[in-house]
Amino acid sequence: MQLPKQSRAVTGKKYMKKIYDRPIVMEYVKKYGISRFFDTRDLPFFLIRYEKGETIIHPTEHTRYLQFVVEGTVAIYSIRRDGSQFPIASSDDFMMLGDVEFVNQSLPALFAEAKSDTAAVALSLDENKPVLDRDLAFLHYTLRSLVKKIELSTMNEAEFISLEDKLLHYIQYCCHDGLLVHIGKASENLHCSRRQLQRVLRKLTEQGILEKTSKGVYRRLPTQ
Whole-angstrom distance between the N-terminal and C-terminal Cα of the chain?
A: 51
Mean pLDDT, all residues of the chain: 83
Instruction: Using pLDDT thresholds of 50, 70 and 90, give the confidence band for residue 154.
Output: low
Report yes or no on 201 lying in a domain: yes
Place 216 in a pLDDT band, splitting at 50, 70 and 90.
confident
Structural domain includes residue 158: no
Question: Each residue of 95-127: pLDDT tens digit?
Answer: 899 988 898 877 777 788 898 899 999 999 999
**Would you tell me how many other CB atoms lie within 10 Å of the CB of residue 202?**
12
Using only the alpha carbons of the chain, give its radius of gyration: 19
Q: Which domain holds residue 191?
A: 163-220
Number of domains in the chain: 2
Q: Is residue 23 part of a domain?
A: yes
Please tell me the predicted confidence (pLDDT) of residue 68: 95
Contact 45, 35 (CB under 8 A): no
Here the CATH number for the domain that contains residue 195 is: 1.10.10
The predicted structure's pLDDT at residue 224: 57
The answer as to whether 96 is a domain residue is yes
Last residue of a domain, one of 103, 121, 150: 150
pLDDT exceeds cutoff 80 at 92 = no
Give the E-state strand segments of the chain in sequence order: 6-11, 14-19, 46-50, 55-57, 65-71, 74-79, 85-91, 95-97, 111-114, 118-124, 179-180, 210-214, 217-220
Average pLDDT over residues 7-14: 42
Which residue, of 102, 119, 150, is where some domain finishes?
150
Are residues 19 and 79 located together in one domain of the fold?
A: yes
Torsion of CA 60, 53, 11, 44, to 10 degrees: -90
Q: Which of 83-87, 88-92, 95-99, 175-179 has the lowest mean pLDDT?
A: 83-87
| CATH number (domain holding residue 140) | 2.60.120.10
157 falls within a domain: no
Instruction: Give this prediction's pTM.
Output: 0.65
Residues 11-47 pLDDT 10s: 344 578 999 999 999 999 999 999 999 999 999 999 9
How sure is the predictor about 136, in pLDDT bands with cuts at 50, 70 and 90?
A: very high
189 and 120 in a common domain: no
